[in-house]
Amino acid sequence: MKFRFFLFILLINSCLFSNERDISFNECLQVELLKMCEEEQDLRKKWIYAEDEETKLEFQQKVMHIDDYHLRRLKEIIKEYGWPGYSLVGSKGSNAFWLLVQHTPDYAFQAECLEYLEQAVLDNNASKIDLAYLKDRVYMYAGKQIYGTQLNADLTPYPIEDEDHINQRRQEVGLPTIEEYLKFTREMFRESILYSKEKDNDSS
């Protein structure tokens, strides 16, 4: 159950500073990022909703394989372009890159990318919400998160810095209140469990 919840949260839910040279829109890179994101989301969903342990293990191995491949490619992109922002790959492409970074098992790379993303947001070239999620992911491992986006298996946030002012910080980046976020997440999780049970019943 804890493992399934961890994957569910991943599905819900975005180094040095960006290169200063002028970079024009790169449609090929945008298409590549969207395809990478679609592939990994599809595999993770199949992993979550696998009907038996053998199938679950099969998709687990596929997810690990694609994560390794994606990590190598993400590092190449960061090295060449910095954070791929709106001007380079559009909002959808930038969000896809964030999601792939958010899902990588390489904590050091996430921390490296955080600096790139912070600069891109300062330049109005990336999403504040994506930054909030990535910052929380990195800070969660280091101590306390800032926005309360990272939840554990009992549907409560990991430790939060200055929790009394969390909704003020969330509002500043365009996130709903922590109460609304938790309510929505719990409802979505219950629906996912019901869906999984229905699939199990249909297959029996």
Cα separation, 121 vs 127, in Å, equals: 6
Q: Which two tokens stand for residue 186?
A: 């719990």
Burial of 182 by CB count in 10 Å (0-12 exposed, 13-18 middle, 19+ buried)? Answer: middle
- Report how far Cα 103 is from the mean position of its chain's Cα atoms: 5
Digit-coded pLDDT (tens) for 66-88: 999 999 999 999 999 999 999 99
Instruction: Name the H helices within 27-165.
Output: 27-48, 53-81, 86-103, 107-122, 128-142
Top pLDDT among 180 and 56 is at 180
Domain boundaries, given as residue ranges, for the chain: 2-15+25-203
Cα separation, 198 vs 130, in Å, equals: 33
- The answer to whether 203 touches 51, Cβ cutoff 8 Å, is yes
**Backbone torsions φ then ψ of 151, nearest 5 degrees:** -110, 150
Q: Which two tokens stand for residue 151?
A: 């939840």
- pLDDT grade for 31, boundaries at 50, 70 and 90: very high
The share of the chain scoring above pLDDT 90, in percent, equals 66
List Cβ neighbours of 117 (8 Å cut-off, separation of 6 or more).
83, 98, 126, 130, 131, 134
Digit-coded pLDDT (tens) for 134-191: 999 999 998 999 999 999 989 999 999 999 999 999 999 999 999 999 999 999 888 7
